[in-house]
Structure 1
Amino acid sequence: TDALNQRLSTMQQQILSRTRLQPIIERLGLYKDQVANKAPMEDLVAQMRKSITVTTVKSVGTSRQNEVPGFTIAFESDHARTAQLVCAEILSMFIDENIKLRAQAADSTTEFLQKQVEEAKRKLDEKDQRVAEFKRRYLGQLPGQEQSNMNILMGLSQQLEAVSQLLTRTHQDKTYAESLLAQQVAAWEASQQGSNPQTLETQLTALQNQLITLEARYTPDHPDVTKMKADIAQLKNKIDEANATTTRTSRPTRTKPRWPSSMSLRRSSNCEARSTSTK
């Protein structure tokens, strides 16, 4: 075939060069007489090159798909053994050169395909980037995104509802904390005014209001509820003690009657007698 002829021509240029044929001449001892007569090596190489014939043969096979192209190598020599050895050397070089050319072709093909793959990948990346940019620019406006947009909207609505509920609970907790703080401040200010039963009653009312609030938020066994009940009981005892002290202080005490002394009585009698005699 034309491809085989072209490949053979390329290989012959390499194999039939002086650098390839001279080692064969020296190794096999060819042209001993000419070498003895000191014939130039260039002449010996040219003579050997003329003695070598490379011919392509018809393809072997029953169909075009099974055809196997080939070639023959011939070398003219006076000795059959020498011709056989030279043909073996030339054939070995053709095989090696063919493998080398095929490897180079494979490398070239691989490099070409690699470049094609890289170019295709570059174009694909550019298209992907353009598609992504298009989607970003027209997000939510593309066909088939209605359901996705609805799902996103529902998710955002649920998040908004959760945040609103959290805000409401936080506001309630803030109001409760402010109320509790105000009651505690009032109770503290009242406690600084002494142990007046009226002041203690005010503290008791504040604590009872706090207890109502705590019982509405916690169970009866909650530590805050238990402590508040204990504080109320302690304050009630304090109120009872204060009331008892006030009662004892306000009760009237009996005092002995004061009688005028005898000297005062006698002085009064003398005064009366003196007054009578004067009359």
Structure 2
Amino acid sequence: MPLDTSFVDHDFTPWQGTVDARWLMAYAAGLGHTRTAYLDTTRPEGIVSHPLFPICPEWALLTQPGTGRTGLGLSSEESLRGVHARHDLHLHRNIGAPSEITVTARVASVERTSAGALLTVRFQGTADGEPHWTSWMSSLYRGVEVTGPERTGERPPALPDPTAATPDPSSGVLDIPAWAPHVYSECGRIWNPIHTDLAVARGAALPGLILHGSATLAHGVEWVLQALDARPEQVRRLGCSFRATVPVPGKIHPTLRAVHTSPNGTRTAHFTVLNDSGEAAVRDAFLVFAAP
């Protein structure tokens, strides 16, 4: 059934749960990101949450009963047409372990596009009343109609301007094995059968299994941090648009486009991640991190 614009400003049922060291470490390890800060629980300051980890409790909220397709009136078949289109994540503080996290979500916009309905949801993650992150996630439901008058809720902040940055053409290559979507799904607790079930993938008109967009972005973020000798706890904001798929097994090619340093020392890196066919899987990506 169509997605109605009356859902703008609709609040989902909040998600509450414990984020422990096991979950934080499993997410990083599931990506093969094994720096000490992610995994060493003997560090006096504790382990560091991976910059992309907030997507895990966000997914838990979207897939709990009464939320997701049920809460928006989408059928199971329509829900499977949804693809991650954009993400803009603002990190306010590290997620300690353990933390009792509450995630809230509100529909920010429902937009008509030539490809289908574009749904943007604003998430807020808090612990003990303190904000830990805010994010805007856009999903495109291919072939789903939109009904109702145009309505727009809260808009995300303006994106960083890449034209102000100094060009930097560094690039790399990473192998993505056939089992990567399965490991990422289970370690992050982000299960979507389109990434792990060949029958479901082919039913969605895909030739085979593909890597999660968030995993592709996470690999790009980790590569940029290493390329610029930065630390994950410095990350303040990241985002991108998702485009081409990453078939598995295969390779991805993170490419640094430009870097800008502001007068206060904050750096912004602009990058992209190509699939093995040279198509942009992650486009218009950026990573903002505080001065050392």
Is the pair's TM-score, using the shorter chain for normalization, greater than 0.5?
A: no
TM-score under structure 2 length normalisation: 0.17
From the two aligned structures, give the one with the greater helix fraction: 1
TM-score under structure 1 length normalisation: 0.18
From the two aligned structures, give the one with the greater strand fraction: 2
